Amino acid sequence: MSYDVTKAVGQVRLLINDTSTDPVFADTDVAAFLAMEGDNVKRAAAQALDTIADDEALTSKAIRTQDLATDGPKVADSLRKRAAALRDQADRADADADDGFFAIVPMGGHGHTPELTQHAHFPGYWP
């Protein structure tokens, strides 16, 4: 499988390390994560990692044999921490994008004043 890191689906795959020839998610799955997360790549990647973590927690157990050890809950926890880090990055990017100013909405026409403000032509009159 090839993926294009200039496209959102490829960027999500890169962040979740789903870049092998046998991917965990189909492109339609990744596109669904993007749609659910407002096309935010990092939030979509976090959702994908949470889904992988859920699957890991549900299907894998902590198993130890003579020469093999697996720990599904530990893997799931690690994936959830990575998902949380991606959401934190997305939150910081959202905060940086906010310039901190309010938009000015023009009041149209004569006689339109904001609520509970004095009318310019009639001081003391509250419309």
Show the tokens assigned to 8.
């959102």
Confirm whether pTM is higher than 0.85.
no
Report which of 74, 78, 73, 87 is spatially closest to residue 45, judged by C-alpha positions.
87
For 18-37, write each residue's pLDDT tens digit: 999 999 999 999 999 999 99
Residue 117 belongs to some domain of the structure: no
- Residues 58-69, mean pLDDT to the nearest whole number: 74
Residue 91 belongs to some domain of the structure: yes
The number of folded domains in the chain is: 1
Give the C-alpha separation, 26 to 23, whole Å: 7
Residue 12 belongs to some domain of the structure: yes
Residue 14 belongs to some domain of the structure: yes
Range of the domain at 59: 8-97
For tokens 């310039």, name the residue.
99
Residue 41 belongs to some domain of the structure: yes
Contact (Cβ atoms closer than 8 angstroms) between residue 12 and residue 6:
no
Give the C-alpha separation, 73 to 75, whole Å: 5
